[in-house]
Amino acid sequence: MKDISFLTILAVAPFLAVGCSCNCNVETPAEAGVPAETVPATAPADKKAVPALIDTAAHPFLVKTPFVAWSQLTYDKIVPDTKLILEITQAKIDAICELKPEELSYDSVVGAYDSAFFDLGYFEGILSHCESTCMTDGFREQYEIVQPMLSEFWTAQSLNEKYYAVLKAYSETPEAKGLDPIRARHLKQMLEGFVDGGVDLPADKKEELKAVMAEMVPLTQKFSQNVLDANNSYKKLVTDEAKIAGLPESNRKEALAAAIAAGLATEEKPAWLFTTQVSSYSPAMKYLDDEELRREIFLARNNICAPGTPYDNTDLMKRILALRQREAEILGYKNFTDLILKRRMAKNGETAMAFVDDLAAKTKPAFDREYNELRAFRSSVDPAFKLSSRPSFQPWDFAYWAEKYRRAEYDFDENLLKPYFESNNVVNGMFAFFDELYDLTIREIPSAYRPLGSTEPLPEGMVEIWHPTVKCYEIIDNKLGYRIGVFYMDMFPRKEKRSGAWMHPFVAGNHDKGEVSFAMVCGNLTALTGNGPALWSHYDVETLYHEFGHNLHQILGNVPVSPLNGSNVAWDFVELPSQINENWTWEPAILARWAKHYQTNEPIPQAYVDAMVRARNFQAAYQQMRQLSFAKGDLYIHMNAKDLAGQDIDKVARDVTKDYVWPSPYEQRSNMNSFTHLFRDPVAYASGYYSYKWAEALQADAFQTFKRPDGSLDLSRGMVFRRTILEKGDSKDASELFRDFVGRDPDWNAINVLHGIVPAK
């Protein structure tokens, strides 16, 4: 997923997300990788009390460089740095508000505004990144102090009548009426964003809106923290090796390494640790023969933040929904969904819901068939199941029996792939492929870890990282001949890091002017096992390619107007570059380039690849309906929030998606109480989870243009994709960008053809 870098309080106001990109070359203060002692603060023209230079030793969070001195970002700096950057940003905005009519220009009104918010956005990006990857108690305490300050500031700016008056005045000038299409698009979005953000509201409504946003921010932050704490609180230690029968050797090693790392086992006295993290949970559900152990681990994950648990999110979720509904009503919308989708491809909730319902209806026959096939398989090998009067599955049995069925049906054991998916080989092979596809050079920058607060000097020629397993890289454009991007990769789980995988955007630069883009790629893939390598599943590999697709979208963006650059695009289009990347992990010709045995360097056997590709669409309808159930529940609760006040949201979500899940005597909870995609900040993916399937439908169609009639790959299409999609950001409407690449409107049925749910015409 693409992460929301900063507090995008009003999703309908794209200019508030300018922290994702800027017109500045942020590498300048630290070309060699060492932050400069001072960075100009760009004092405003009105001579307000803003320092000409920022003392970066005293304010390390305010250094604008991708080569951050992570060890210096101590907790005591968070509050003073927040206060200072808000003071500086306000002074810059005030200076714009005092411009005389003859001083109005695109640069002085729009460009200066973008620049002012770039500094704040950069700071919030660093802060948000730390919250996602380094959430210790000390950080959390200070982070909670500054969130209301930041929320209040953003809300006030969205309602800034003085700046809006200046912007409107400029929009009526001859220069504004003659702007080039990209700048005209940006100006139009800014004007509409202010209106939709409530700048024209009466004073009492503005005050109410401010109160709504002020209340919502800490609630969403608490929701996210509860999920993190709940995940960290569950540890199932197994000391009897007989109970882990069925678990593959690689997963046994991972569980043993986790127990040793937690101080709960040794090599001499082994034990195996299971958690609710996907990298631990998924193998447990698929392979453990012990049904009772599967049941216990399943219930632990299913009840994360559920009623009656220490981290119950029920009331938080209800209140967030109520506040979102009220926000929409204040701004003149029927519901939060219509507010959020106004500038996305779907435009409104009805269109998004119709897409979900239509795709579900087309998937349902295959979904039902897959269930009956699984029942028939189990009946053929499990006498107790066959003899039952009403044979049915418990939810902790589905993955276990599905894996057995897949092995029998396709003679495919995915664990045979892992020795060929060693993490370093995967990463280096991925880099080499995209180097070729997009004419780039991706290479590692030497790095060193220093603990928080360290005063040890950084070794010469190295950049700093925030954890020993993190790596830093640069991207060089071969045609331009210089660096266009810097990114970090943090791919392994740890307790202070939130679950899931994401790309965190910071800067999307104008490469024609030498500006450097900056992003983070983060995940929780299968971890290193002691001193051994990390051997990844194919799902891990897909996840990496997915997030790296977001990363390339961010870094290869090359739009001269920064808020329209990089991955800052319509939310139901943003997943296209990431999802199209997943296809490369299924192409035998691409796998053959880098999938080598980590010990022998032997290439992956063709028989393994063939079996993997044959099994690609195994239970594809089930997987699609699962994603659609999340999308349906998300849209329904936000479109009907007003009528759901006081109701059990989990039950509501289960009721509206009952046909999207296979029947079971145990009615499992929905994931609403732990659905951080929807509730981790005021916007997140709320009313937007459908965009995963929407974008997947787009990419399923678009990827076919990489195939020749004989099925071979046409890699020359890579540069076309780069030029028409990756570089263009939001400089055009997303539908137009799609047509520029494919040459026509999308075929929405392509997703079902790709997954074998319906036959190709």
Model confidence pLDDT, tens digit, residues 727-741:
999 999 999 999 999
Let me know if 547 is a catalytic residue: yes
Burial group, residue 215, by CB count within 10 angstroms (0-12, 13-18, 19+): middle
Burial group, residue 531, by CB count within 10 angstroms (0-12, 13-18, 19+): exposed
Other Cβ atoms within 10 Å of 350 Cβ, number: 14
Q: Which residue has the higher pLDDT, 631 or 44?
A: 631
pLDDT in tens, 736-757: 999 999 999 999 999 999 999 9
In whole angstroms, what separates CA 372 from the centre of its chain? 35
Judge whether residue 673 has pLDDT over 60: yes
Question: Out of 182-196, 459-473, 528-542, 649-663, which region has the weakest mean confidence (pLDDT)?
Answer: 528-542
Q: How far is Cα 575 from Cα 571, in angstroms, rounded to an integer?
A: 8
Mean pLDDT in the chain? 91
Q: How far is Cα 136 from Cα 232, in angstroms, rounded to an integer?
A: 12
What does each C-alpha distance from 210 to 59, 153, 509, 679 come to in angstroms? 29, 10, 32, 19
Judge whether residue 677 has pLDDT over 50: yes
Judge whether residue 12 has pLDDT over 50: no
Closest CA to 350 of 10, 7, 638, 6: 638
Q: How many structural domains are present in the chain? A: 4
Together in a domain, 176 and 51: yes
pLDDT of residue 16: 29
Answer yes or no: is 386 within a domain. Answer: yes
Give me the CATH number covering residue 529: 1.10.1370.40
pLDDT of residue 684: 86
pLDDT in tens, 237-294: 999 999 999 999 989 999 999 999 999 999 999 999 999 998 899 999 999 999 999 9
Together in a domain, 525 and 586: yes
Under the banding of pLDDT at 50, 70 and 90, the label for residue 495 is confident
Judge whether residue 33 has pLDDT over 80: no
Main-chain phi, psi angles of 285, to 5 degrees:
-70, -30
pLDDT of residue 761: 67
Other Cβ atoms within 10 Å of 610 Cβ, number: 13
Answer yes or no: is 207 within a domain. Answer: no
The answer to pTM > 0.75 is yes
Q: Locate tokens 């991925």: which residue? A: 430
Average pLDDT over residues 581-604: 97
pLDDT of residue 317: 97
Helix, strand, coil percent values for the chain (each to nearest 5): 55, 10, 35
Q: Which of 124, 547, 575, 696 is catalytic?
A: 547
pLDDT in tens, 56-93: 889 999 999 999 999 999 999 999 999 999 999 999 99
Judge whether residue 188 has pLDDT over 80: yes
Judge whether residue 2 has pLDDT over 70: no
Q: How far is Cα 624 from Cα 690, in angstroms, rounded to an integer?
A: 11
Q: How far is Cα 182 from Cα 735, in angstroms, rounded to an integer?
A: 16
Under the banding of pLDDT at 50, 70 and 90, the label for residue 31 is very low
Other Cβ atoms within 10 Å of 184 Cβ, number: 16
Query: What does the buried/exposed string (b/e) look like for 108-138 if buried means 16 or more CB atoms within 10 Å of the residue's CB?
Result: bbbbbbbbbbbbbbbbbbbbbbbbbbbbeee
Residue pair 475/555 in contact by the 8 Å Cβ criterion:
yes
pLDDT of residue 55: 85
pLDDT of residue 41: 38
Together in a domain, 436 and 580: yes
Q: How far is Cα 264 from Cα 273, in angstroms, rounded to an integer?
A: 8
pLDDT in tens, 191-244: 999 998 999 999 999 999 999 999 999 999 999 999 999 999 999 999 999 999
Under the banding of pLDDT at 50, 70 and 90, the label for residue 52 is low
Together in a domain, 265 and 196: no
Residues with Cβ within 8 Å of residue 292, at least 6 apart in sequence: none
Closest CA to 359 of 578, 744, 620: 620
Average pLDDT over residues 647-675: 95
> 302, 325, 351: which is the final residue of a domain?
302
Tell me the residue type at 266.
T
Residue pair 668/662 in contact by the 8 Å Cβ criterion:
no
Judge whether residue 38 has pLDDT over 50: no
Q: Locate tokens 């899931």: which residue? A: 500
Answer yes or no: is 101 within a domain. Answer: yes
Residues with Cβ within 8 Å of residue 18, at least 6 apart in sequence: 114, 117, 118, 121, 562, 563
> 245, 270, 302: which is the final residue of a domain?
302
Answer yes or no: is 760 within a domain. Answer: no
Judge whether residue 387 has pLDDT over 90: no
pLDDT of residue 51: 52
Q: Which residue has the higher pLDDT, 28 or 333?
A: 333
Give me the CATH number covering residue 88: 1.20.1050.40
> 302, 323, 346: which is the final residue of a domain?
302
Together in a domain, 628 and 706: yes
Both tokens of residue 228? 């993190």
Together in a domain, 424 and 541: yes
Answer yes or no: is 745 within a domain. Answer: yes
Both tokens of residue 589? 């010709």
| 3-class DSSP assignment, residue 39 | strand
Judge whether residue 516 has pLDDT over 90: yes
pLDDT of residue 296: 98
* pLDDT > 90 fraction of the chain, expressed in percent and rounded: 85
Under the banding of pLDDT at 50, 70 and 90, the label for residue 25 is very low
Answer yes or no: is 449 within a domain. Answer: no
Judge whether residue 606 has pLDDT over 90: yes
Domain with 475 in it: 418-443+459-614
Beta-strand pair 447-449/463-465? parallel
Together in a domain, 433 and 557: yes
Q: How many helices (H) and strands (E) does the chain have?
A: 27, 11
Together in a domain, 260 and 195: no
Average pLDDT over residues 335-342: 96
Main-chain phi, psi angles of 40, to 5 degrees:
-55, 135
Answer yes or no: is 212 within a domain. Answer: no
* pLDDT > 70 fraction of the chain, expressed in percent and rounded: 93
DSSP 8-class letter at 46: T
Q: Locate tokens 């599967």: which residue? A: 294
H/E stretch holding 410 reads helix 398-410
Together in a domain, 470 and 374: no
pLDDT of residue 582: 97
Together in a domain, 24 and 160: yes
Angle at 384 between CA 380 and CA 385, to 5 degrees: 60
Give me the CATH number covering residue 373: 1.10.1370.10
Together in a domain, 549 and 498: yes
Both tokens of residue 463? 């950049």
pLDDT of residue 758: 87
Closest CA to 136 of 258, 229, 5: 229
Judge whether residue 26 has pLDDT over 70: no
Average pLDDT over residues 585-611: 96
Burial group, residue 600, by CB count within 10 angstroms (0-12, 13-18, 19+): exposed
Average pLDDT over residues 645-656: 95
Angle at 150 between CA 148 and CA 155, to 5 degrees: 95
Q: How far is Cα 276 from Cα 281, in angstroms, rounded to an integer?
A: 5
Question: Out of 37-46, 481-490, 523-532, which region has the weakest mean confidence (pLDDT)?
Answer: 37-46
Q: How far is Cα 657 from Cα 654, in angstroms, rounded to an integer?
A: 5
Together in a domain, 160 and 240: no
Question: Out of 97-106, 326-335, 377-386, which region has the weakest mean confidence (pLDDT)?
Answer: 377-386
* Measured distance between the N- and C-terminal CA atoms of the chain, rounded to whole angstroms: 32
Answer yes or no: is 206 within a domain. Answer: no
pLDDT of residue 760: 72
Q: How far is Cα 688 from Cα 683, in angstroms, rounded to an integer?
A: 9
487 DSSP β-pair partners: 473, 519
Radius of gyration of the chain (CA): 26
pLDDT of residue 9: 30
pLDDT of residue 3: 55
